Chain A
Amino acid sequence: MIDEQVLSFALHELADRDEVGAPPIDRLLHRGRRSRWARNAAGATVTATAAIGALAASTVLASPGGNSHNAGDPRSLALAAQTTSQSTFRFKQTQTIQLDAHSQFPEGNVSVIQGLYDPVNRRGAFEVLVGGARNMRLCADPAGRPSGGPYPSGSAGGAPSPSAPGRSSGGPSQPPPSPGCSAAPPLEMTRLSELRQIGDRCFLHPVGAGTDGPWQQLHGDHCGRASAEGVAMSTDPREVLVSIRTLGTATYRGRTGTGSQTTDTWTFGYTTKRTAHQVPATVTGTVAVNVATGLITQVATHDVVEEAGPTPLVTDSETEFSDFGTPVVVTAPSSSVPLPPGSPTPTPASTR
């Protein structure tokens, strides 16, 4: 028979029986900095995705057709961005972070944000998933212990995972395979959190807290931050258009497809400014505009942060827009709790 006092004793006996080594502080600092850079890069990707506005500003003048559209002229990106921001849509954004050897991303290096959004009425429902392990390898760690567990050590390169969602992203030249490394098995995409936005009100459900865990109420600035960090491009693109219109230039690459699938493609590139909290990122990408509807259907970006550590941090992002005009009906959760005082602002991406 075991009572609470005996249980407490037994737990201490069990916990104390193993020798504990010194904390790997240098390794933790390295991984922590790396993780912060990854988050910044993801933020830069958000900016990049929305950079269609910037291209738009510079391509209105460059566009052969200007604002008067003829059948053979490319669509203005500014007009396409504005038209897209006035319609409801379904979107799916897939981000892949390329990892150097021994950088551990326990939840995989692929994250997906998907959902429905009504930018006019600011209503949306989104979910965040992580997993994938795309282009990752399992390697022995520097201490020599084989990483046979479920946590992969990643390195840039390796065969793309056939089961990973989305398309394999392009990237810089791949390094030769390291000895002792093998292709990482694909990680199942796991749902991390769910976010609902109704105007200024947001409700966040971190799935990691348990399926029956409470929804958290977010208001005011918290709502905006959670929405902006979580849903990226789906926040009003028009605001982004104004804020970053000076960043880059775009080049019209031509028209492909036939009939209703005819698409105009643009490429762009720019470097973000250094700030107190973010190092510069070089961003290149493409934007696809459906000629028949004048709506943006796809934005792909490739971000490189050179100052991310010993090796550059490379992030690829692909955002697809579809189901334009779909009614977006979002209801508040039946029960929710306010954010505890003093809590850090949770975001869909930070609930990992």
Chain B
Amino acid sequence: MSETPTADAAYASFVAANWERYLRVARLLTGDLHRGEELLQDSLVKLYVRWRRTSIRGDPHAYLRRTLINGNISWWRRWRREQLVAQPPDHQDPRAGAEPQDQVQHALRQLPPGQRAVVVLRHYEDLTEREVAALLRCTVGTVKSQNARALAKLRELLADYDITAKEVTR
């Protein structure tokens, strides 16, 4: 419970140190920077409510990641019908002459949120399969299969992905 100035200061320090990192994670999970920021703010509010317990006995990073993933899945369930019936002008198929990042964004959006979470945690956050399984509360086998399906789908969608202009340094 973040009741004391000390607890509030610790929470504020955590947010300041990790805001950018988790905003980028949320942006990948949602496929949209503004929606990602809303998701992150909502998740950080939930973290505040449980700050004392989480910061003392748990791992605030793990709690925040879980809340981001669950929040995104809940949002997707609630609004997918609206998302599916229309293709807003700013969400046109980017494969026709768009930036490579737009191709990746479009491909990520085609994944179900569970697979998208596995991809982001494994390949952006660089978590191990075991860590992803613990976070998603599923088995390592489920993580492997979800990751394999997601990669197969991405390979199909990004068959024309061009990285020749940039060198892969990672």
Contacts and interface: CB of A to CB of B under 8 A. Distances in A.
A343 B12 contact: no
A11 B123 contact: yes
A190 interface: yes
Interface in A4-27: 4-18, 20, 22-25, 27
B28 A15 contact: yes
Given A1-B155, A25-B12, A12 B50 contact: no
A28 B158 CA distance: 38
Contact of A28 (B35, B41, B53, B74): B41
B119 A28 contact: no
B74 A7 contact: no
A209 interface: yes
B24 A8 contact: no
Given A8-B170, A13-B104, A210-B114, A23 B15 contact: yes
Given A9-B168, A12-B170, A151-B38, A35 B23 contact: no
A213 interface: yes
Interface in B68-103: 70-71, 73-75, 77-79, 82, 100-101
A325 interface: no
A243 to B, nearest CB: 22
Contact of A29 (B11, B28, B50, B105): B11
A344 B104 contact: no
Contacts of A208: 70-71, 73-74
Nearest to A208: B70
B8 A29 contact: yes
A84 B23 CA distance: 50
Most buried by B among A14, A337, A352: A14
A36 B49 contact: yes
A39 interface: yes
Interface in B40-79: 41-42, 44-51, 53-54, 57-58, 63, 70-71, 73-75, 77-79
A344 B46 contact: no
A94 B38 CA distance: 27
B77 to A, nearest CB: 7
B74 A344 contact: no
A188 interface: yes
Given A151-B38, A190-B77, A337-B137, A25 B16 contact: yes
Interface in A311-352: 337, 340, 342-344, 350-352
Contacts of B20: 20
Contacts of A7: 119, 123, 151, 154
Contacts of A31: 41, 45, 48
A10 B25 CA distance: 13
Given A35-B48, A188-B78, A14 B104 contact: yes
Contacts of A352: 46, 74
Contacts of A340: 134
A9 B23 CA distance: 18
A36 to B, nearest CB: 5
A104 interface: yes
A107 B169 CA distance: 42
A10 B166 CA distance: 10
A30 to B, nearest CB: 9
Nearest to B57: A342
Contacts of A12: 124, 170
A277 B41 contact: no
Nearest to A31: B45
Contacts of B101: 10, 13-14, 17
A105 to B, nearest CB: 9
18 contacts: A7-B119, A9-B170, A11-B28, A13-B101, A13-B104, A15-B27, A15-B28, A28-B15, A31-B45, A32-B48, A39-B49, A106-B42, A150-B79, A213-B138, A277-B1, A344-B50, A344-B54, A352-B74
Interface of A: 1-2, 4-18, 20, 22-25, 27-29, 31-33, 35-36, 39, 104, 106-107, 149-151, 187-188, 190, 206, 208-210, 213-214, 277, 337, 340, 342-344, 350-352
- Enumerate the 8 nearest inter-chain pairs by beta-carbon distance, A residue then B residue, closest first: A32-B48, A23-B19, A15-B24, A208-B70, A11-B124, A8-B123, A14-B101, A10-B104
